[in-house]
Amino acid sequence: MKISSLLLGGWLLLAGGVVGAEVAGEMQPAQTLAQYRELSATLRQLDRAQTAAELSRLGLERPLPPRYAKRFGFDPRQPAEFYRTPEGRRIADAVLSYQTPSGGWSKRTDMGASPRQAGQAFGVEKNYIPTFDNSATSTQFWIMARAYGATGDKRYAAAAERALRLILLAQYPNGGWPQSFPLRGKYHELLTFNDGVTFELLSIVRAAAQSEEGLQFLPEALRARAADSLQRGLQMLLKTQVVSDGRTTIWGAQHDPETLKPAAARAFEPASLATAESADLVLFLMELERPSVEIKRAIESAHDWFAANQKKGYRWAKGEHDYKELLPAANTDPLWARFYEIGSNRPIFGDRDGAVYYDIRKVSQERLRGYGWYTEHPYKVLKRFPDWRERHKPQKFEAVR
């Protein structure tokens, strides 16, 4: 698997990135953490070498900035038929142009206005390309798959394959995913459940492994790799579910890739139990057709934790201030704090200076305005659980599918 960075750079300078994409497509998932980091460095070199080649050819000292967009500059929820229209093809081509040689996409970059030009950066944020944060790469994977299904244009199929290969390569040997790959250091290298990263990637590998509608074009060998990835991802979820005082609870927003324990990320995101992210994971597990006994226990334990820690009689909304706060309310769905202290199950709230409070009123106004401290998302687990339990009684299933 080891490929000289110098040689890769030479290939890319000669081929404008085409050979680099083929090299990335031939790589296999790492078996050890050392191999994984080597793989990350090689893929990062692919991205940097193409940019360097373009800048040299154009006589530029630094990449030209693309346009910023809060999401991606287009509506990604369009059905496949949309990509048969001229506007759909225009957007699909623009999205395709922002795919990095390593196979992923950036975030907060306008990919709906116009195609990326030679010499232009792949994303607006330094060191964020490619990433899985804020639904980046997972969103574009589905766009490429739908565009291929609608048009039959093999460029889109090839782009979706490359994205899936990056997702498979980005999976740690222990089955989890970082926020960004190639790796970029700090909390971005943690196993990331935050913002739906793992949920979205597991959804893709499951869909690929099962050849769900719209993904039948994927090569059989790649579908087999996705099936293996899914199993490793499921085992990772079982290993990372937090056990406190002998009781299985939920998951953190991030976990250490070596110890698998919950880990802190930004200063206001302490190591803790994370409710919205955990709800996503439980909902994913509840969709498995044939869950193992261990997975069923994981679902039941998380459900019980959510049921025991719900907060009723309140809503999270703007009151007399210009930021959201916890307000008394009748006939509303239950709420959960975003983070809970491991062991005590007390809600906790972080701030920019690293301070952690039990009282949300002590958090700075900047963080009150800029962060979602309460969520209703786990209520979906409580609502769906009775039907799930009826369908998956202990005697019905034994093997994971």
Can you give the pLDDT at residue 6? 35
Can you give the pLDDT at residue 22? 56
Where does 27-153 have alpha helices with state H?
33-58, 86-97, 138-151
The predicted-structure confidence for 131-149, as pLDDT tens digits, reads as follows 999 999 999 999 999 999 9
Q: Contact at 8 Å (CB) between 213 and 205?
A: no
Q: Contact at 8 Å (CB) between 195 and 71?
A: no
Q: Pick the closest to residue 291 from 299, 281, 279 (CA basis).
A: 299
Banded pLDDT at 13 (limits 50, 70, 90)? very low
Q: Which residue has the tokens 């001229």?
A: 86
Cis peptide bond upstream of 65, omega within 30: no
Q: Where are the chain's structural domains?
A: 63-240, 307-391
Residue 8, pLDDT above cutoff 60:
no
Residue 34, pLDDT above cutoff 50:
yes
Residue 115, pLDDT above cutoff 80:
yes
Considering all CA atoms of the chain, what is the largest pairwise distance in Å, rounded to the nearest integer? Answer: 68
Can you give the pLDDT at residue 320? 85
Residue 7, pLDDT above cutoff 60:
no
Tokens of 369: 């305005």
CB atoms within 10 A of CB 264: 19
Q: Pick the closest to residue 231 from 290, 179, 299 (CA basis).
A: 290
Can you give the pLDDT at residue 232? 98
Distance CA 161, CA 47 (A): 17
Residue 153, pLDDT above cutoff 90:
yes
Q: Hey, what CATH class is 63-240 in?
A: mainly alpha
The predicted-structure confidence for 99-110, as pLDDT tens digits, reads as follows 999 999 999 999
The predicted-structure confidence for 197-239, as pLDDT tens digits, reads as follows 999 999 999 999 999 999 999 999 999 999 999 999 999 999 9
- pTM of the predicted protein model: 0.91
Residue 244, pLDDT above cutoff 80:
yes
Residue 5, pLDDT above cutoff 50:
no
Q: Contact at 8 Å (CB) between 132 and 159?
A: no
The predicted-structure confidence for 72-95, as pLDDT tens digits, reads as follows 999 999 999 999 999 999 999 999
Beta strand 356-357 pairing with 349-350 = antiparallel
Tokens of 233: 């991802």
Q: Pick the closest to residue 350 from 376, 256, 359, 250 (CA basis).
A: 359
